[in-house]
Each structure stands twice: as structure tokens, then as C-alpha cells.
A = this chain, B = another copy of it.
Amino acid sequence: MKFTVYLAGEIHTSWREELIDKAQALDLPLEFVGPMTDHERSDNIGEAVMGTQPSSIAKDEAASQINNLRTELLMKKSDLVIALFGEKYKQWNTAMDASAAISLQKPLILIRPENLHHPLKELSNKANVTVETVNQALKVLTYVFE
């Protein structure tokens, strides 16, 4: 049995690479998917596909529909979602994706630093598992295969 894991959340640190590398080192039968992690590419994909847009709002709208299609397509194929919140940025996409995972009844692991507990308490309560580090999430993944 093999699982597909969608890695939602911030794209400014290399937490995905860290998690994927360690999972491979442990030979866990997991396939990982996720959003575009090149921030520029993600912001510009609308214009890359549809050409220059008349305003920054139109540019954003063009990009967001393609990013949303990507997320919806990949999350539907996933068995599990891991969402990581960092210290910076608004990260409303992360909250949106985590909540979508819950509503789609995909098991959800939430990773967030302890000091974000208060603003994330309702989301944490709805997640299946809340941990503080990538390593802890990895231990949960490992446990499933024991």
C-alpha cells in the first residue's frame, strides 16, 4: 500500500525537501505532491499562460485560477495532507488548503510552531494531528506503516 501526500503551506523554506529526503531515506512508500514552490513562477503563471494582463488584479486573478486548479487536482489524488504554518506571512492559502482537506475528509497533519497555538487553535482542533516539527510529522507517517 502506497500513499500520496499533499504538502500544503509556506514555500519560503525547504521543509518539503527535508521531509521528502527523510521519507526516502526511510524507504516509506510515499509519493509527495504540492503547490508550485517557486514564488515568482506561481505569481506569474497567469500571464505566462494568458499573456500580459491589464492590471495587477487581473494578473492575480489569472494566476490564482491556475494555482487553484493545480491544488484541487493534486489534493483530490492525495490520501493525506500535511500543512505547515511558519512564523511569517499571512498564509491564508495554507489555512484554505488545510480547511479544504478537512472538508474533503482527507486526514490532515498540521505543523506549526508552539507560539502559533492561539491563532490556530480552531484549525488545530479540526486537524487529525497537530505537531511542531517536520520530524514529528515524519514519525507519524512512519507509524502508519509499522
Identify the A interface with B (CB < 8 A): 1, 3-4, 31, 33, 36, 38, 41, 45, 48-50, 54-58, 60-61, 63-74, 76-77, 79-80, 89-93, 95-100, 102-105, 107, 109, 114, 117-126, 128-132, 136, 139-140, 143-144, 146
Contact = CB atoms under 8 A, between A and B. Distances in A.
Nearest to A142: B49
Given A92-B122, A96-B122, 11 more contacts: A1-B4, A57-B114, A66-B129, A66-B143, A67-B122, A68-B126, A68-B128, A92-B120, A93-B123, A98-B99, A99-B99
A107 B72 CA distance: 7
A119 to B, nearest CB: 4
Highest count of chain B CB atoms <10 Å: which of A70, A79, A136: A70
Nearest to A114: B57
Contacts of A143: 36, 45, 49, 66, 70
A64 B119 contact: no
A130 to B, nearest CB: 8
A60 B118 contact: yes
Contacts of A4: 1
